[in-house]
Structure 1
Amino acid sequence: MSSTNGNVRANELYPTPDNVVDALLAQLVLNHAAELMQYIAKSHYQTLKKVGQNLIAVLIT
């Protein structure tokens, strides 16, 4: 359920474990542009994660 309509699952706002994300990414078939974006995302994962967390904190306050 979407947290925008008020119907929030108990574990919806918890982060997805890294091993689950890696397993899902391993199943994807990507073109060259998507491969570049994936490389950038993996290279800057912690920074992107922190930015996302900060954005969520701002949006929910």
Structure 2
Amino acid sequence: MLGWAIAFLVIALVAALLGFGGIAGASAGIAKILFVIFLILFVVAMVARAVRGKPPL
């Protein structure tokens, strides 16, 4: 998930450098959404791991 977010961020940066504002904005929006989903899943996984008795990373 984090890899996809980084990929869309790179696409957004390249599109912005080349002057494609619409594509850059859409790619940046997708990257933000994927990053938030990644953070939520990461926190849920850490809480689940702690509940099972294993220490967090």
TM-score (norm: length of structure 1): 0.31
Say which one has the larger Rg: 2
As a proportion of its length, which structure holds more helix? Answer: 2
TM-score (norm: length of structure 2): 0.33
